[in-house]
Chains A and B, each alone.
Chain A
């Protein structure tokens, strides 16, 4: 409180009221506000607001803030940075609001200065045009840096693995061009290796999101979109479609299991040996709207990913061709 008052009696703010102005203020007091009650309500409100945070705290279920890979970490760092930077503006707003509303109430006997014509201050205006510009400037630099960084593989420690993802109504198809296997509604990835997800949709557009690994990217018909992700720790990570696609949308979840490279290879071998093959007819069936559980296939029609993209408009886009070529 002491601090507040001293801040607000700086030289450029004349703090002594003009006697004639005080006179005006005492007329026309509309209604005495119920100060105490309002304050109590405010306090209750503040407490209620804190409940959700206290209830969940920072449990690992807050997936966005517990990333397990470099992409998620870059994004988490930006989230934290932006929270800190906006706090620089928000906190003064809250403090000022609280102070001003408390100090300048129109109640009899309030001796706070009253200056009805005080409406210009170059100094103040420079401060609050300047500070936000500065904050946005800092945030912009980091945003630009990381936006570019995220279009590249996270770490060049190991050669990337490519997984082709197709969103269907209402399931996720994963194809492994390297291993020649396919899965539905779940996928395996090796840890400590950049994964290049190439995304498309053979249905209304969806969005591929595994929050603990990193941000999402849309799956769009006729487009081959790229998303780099990487897991550092073994585990099962929850993924879901993030763009509404109709009735089965809420059920479009999938699991991403990250294991060591050896375990991943063993898993792929086992699928190759034990699972059935995905045929053209099987794919058509799969693409038909409906829900299915987890499925595995030892092989799939080799050009199906490419063909779906081309058929749905990829043939008009240079970008798609480049992505699909680059992958070969």
Chain B
């Protein structure tokens, strides 16, 4: 008996056909591309695009590009979410058929974690970390550009699957044996594997880059224990990236070898063992959620201290808890599959280690609360997102502890309770954090402040929508609704809750649109930030003009305490320092290079070739990648000095001496 809407697995043609939504997307994509090409040509901006953006190695510009790409991906992933919630609004809906729903939840998860959360985190760290530690760029600016472009083309590859070849449909976790050839033929899964692989190389490089940057490039006097907590969070995250991404790389590579060359690592027959994949995936996958949430913790620490006009409470505790979370996160991966037949001893170990994550996390929440305690709280938009985060994350953390109880997890596993939990932590943690960071550092990036009024509306729509969307899902879990079902019968008692949840999703979508509106409105009407320190900040980035000149610091500051800029301001106010300004010196900066972009294009072509097993495309692209690497090794003219006269001109134009 055939399934309703079941038209077989194999792709019928190169371009995806048969669905009006896809045709609409085709038209939109073509129109957008034509529009962009026209605008660039008409205003003669091609050279500008190439010189200022595509070849840049400036961490601030790379950060901005990450940000734009991440917001676009948030739109894509959010559209997926709204489509899913529409399908689930009522029982027995026929808005989407099974295969479309399967593709949409797969791309939703993959995009939100890897192409939205990750780049948003990378955006924030690129923008803020070098400025906060008093550095002129990251340790390896050229590598930083490669990281971005690999992410960009990885994301492009995955998104292309929507209109070419068909999207992956095995879930964002992509468990074999389901995603092996016999049950999942066609290029969709290959898109997933290669897109993640390509962007994963970039993420790995970013981890190394920021670890070295933070360890080696701090301004004189900035000891580790004087670093802003955001830098600490990025240090912890970098360590997590470096140790966890190799596991993902291996897992994806083995599945790819299975699929392209008929190997049997994870197949059902011929001795393959899917369990191996599941272990490898979660050895990466669990640290991954801390990779994205720790930087959010860092942002909350900065924002809450700044807008409470108070020092961070329990700084050492905050650092200790962050590092504790980083370490424990490697010891908990099995809690993703308590129900896959591990013995009671193993399950107990991982249950308890998982609960232990709750301890340092709880400590952080209380420290944030007491940072505000006896402070002076200014309810700006970044602060609203931070305060909104505390209850969402308290609930998310609590349900996390509940899920850690192994026997209870036998019930929650794969139910909507789980869905509600991880959205509560990932949205309530990461997205709230990144929005807080977005509003907080926006003036530093662009020189104007985002409109507070629209920002507040956006927050309230999103925040209320969030609870309306996800609280019912906990209850749906208790009622036995499982994840990834595209349709459910009436009479289970699920209907009302699903409908409410869908309304919540729409409210969140309105919140997101309002943020975009805020950005567009403020580009034109936003209040200019002429001081460079619009929030009365505490850390070094606020000592610079907004936006910062491309060399960041004309003179590298000397740090004497935590909250370095706050202390400097205090000294100046009291007239304590009449420091002689040191003479300016020429600044050593890296050259721009087009090679990271070209290298990533070649990676993209190679990946695209492998997706369709077109070796005539994949092999030459691979050779091209090698040539790029070789050329870089033979390159000697990689840097330049900015003369003192130019620095003086720039500083004077920015109103600084």
Q: Which residues of A does B touch, CB under 8 Å?
A: 8, 17, 24-25, 28-31, 33-34, 38, 41, 44-45, 48-49, 51-53, 55-56, 59, 61-65, 72, 74-75, 78-79, 82-83, 85-87, 89-90, 93-94, 96-97, 100-101, 104-106, 110, 112-121, 124-125, 128-129, 132-133, 136, 139-140, 142-144, 146-148, 150-151, 169, 203-205, 207, 209, 211-212, 214-218, 220-223, 225, 238, 240-251, 289-292, 311-313, 316, 319
Contact = CB atoms under 8 A, between A and B. Distances in A.
Interface string B492-506: 110011001000000
Nearest to A319: B341
Interface string B386-416: 0100110011001101101111111101110
A248 B1 CA distance: 11
Which 7 pairs show the lowest CB-CB distances between chains A and B? A215-B410, A61-B493, A204-B178, A86-B398, A33-B379, A250-B485, A52-B472
Given A44-B464, A55-B496, A140-B352, A215 B413 contact: yes
B462 to A, nearest CB: 11
Interface in B205-221: none
Contact of A136 (B175, B271, B358, B395): B358
A242 B412 CA distance: 10
Contact of B309 (A24, A89, A140, A214): A24
A147 B406 contact: yes
Contacts of B356: 136
Contact of A215 (B271, B339, B351, B471): B339
B407 A63 contact: no
B504 to A, nearest CB: 9
Contacts of A75: 407-408, 410-411
A117 B536 CA distance: 16
B351 A90 contact: no
A232 B394 CA distance: 37
A291 B482 CA distance: 19
A45 B463 contact: yes
A216 B493 CA distance: 21
B402 A83 contact: yes
Interface stretch (B134-142, B366-374, B598-606): B366-374
16 contacts: A8-B373, A25-B309, A30-B378, A62-B475, A75-B407, A97-B391, A100-B369, A114-B374, A114-B375, A147-B344, A148-B344, A211-B480, A221-B177, A247-B102, A291-B1, A316-B273
Given A63-B479, A221-B177, A249-B484, A78 B269 contact: no
B411 A118 contact: no
A283 to B, nearest CB: 16
Interface string B150-181: 00000000000000000001110001111000
Contacts of B183: 169, 203-204, 246, 289
Contacts of B362: 89, 128, 132
Given A114-B374, A118-B313, A217-B410, 15 more contacts: A41-B460, A63-B480, A64-B478, A72-B411, A93-B369, A104-B308, A118-B373, A124-B370, A125-B363, A143-B352, A143-B355, A143-B406, A204-B183, A211-B411, A316-B271
B85 interface: no
B575 to A, nearest CB: 15
Of A41, A100, A251, most buried by chain B (CB within 10 Å of CB) is: A100
Contact of B536 (A28, A118, A319): A28
Interface residues of B, number: 111
A291 B98 CA distance: 13
B395 A90 contact: yes
Nearest to B275: A220
A104 B374 contact: yes
B415 A242 contact: yes
Contacts of A129: 317, 359, 363
B654 interface: no
A143 B378 CA distance: 43
A144 B348 contact: yes
B315 interface: yes
